[in-house]
Amino acid sequence: MFTYTVTELARQCNTTPHAVRYYTRMGLLRPKRHPENGYRLYKSAEIPWLRFVQQAKSLGYTLKEIKEIMHDSDDAKSPCPRVREILMKHIVENRQRLEGLMRLQTRMEHALKRWEDMPDGVPDGHSVCHLIESITYDSDDMPRLNATNLKY
């Protein structure tokens, strides 16, 4: 069976030797050691495993999750239920993150719009930046000017 060094395996899978070494330390790849020089040698069977890791990462799975999935496969258990469950969880988390980012984007755009006609200020010992300090938020989490903090 053909064996690959770290660099050769990395080349075969279009990744870096650093990634191959890291995945090996994480237990995702299982090389043998060359008896004379101690080099890690990977069987050609490691190529599909490494490609699997790359594909799973591209779908947002963490290395810990990938390791769990691979263990299911090693134990001759179908990893598919776990794969679906993890991906559903990530979709919910990503949707929440995206919604939070959209709220942040809207707040930023509203704040910038409100600051258009405000002059630059100079810190006076009581204020750091009057633009930021001039903003308060309404019940919809939208910025509005706080007239008590306007100092320009």
Q: Are 61 and 86 in contact (CB under 8 A)?
A: yes
pLDDT at 69 over 50: yes
Which CATH fold would you assign to the domain 3-76? Multidrug-efflux Transporter Regulator; Chain: A; Domain 2 (1.10.1660)
Pairing of strands 135-137, 143-145: antiparallel
How far apart (Å, rounded) are the C-alpha atoms in residues 43 and 1? 7
Residue boundaries of the structural domains of the chain: 3-76, 96-149
> Closest Cα partner for 1 from 39, 35, 43?
43
What kind and span of H or E run contains 138? Answer: none
pLDDT digits (tens, 9 = 90+) for 81-118: 999 999 999 999 999 999 999 999 998 998 899 898 88
How far apart (Å, rounded) are the C-alpha atoms in residues 3 and 35? 13
Q: Are 145 and 114 in contact (CB under 8 A)?
A: yes
The overall average pLDDT reported for the chain is 88
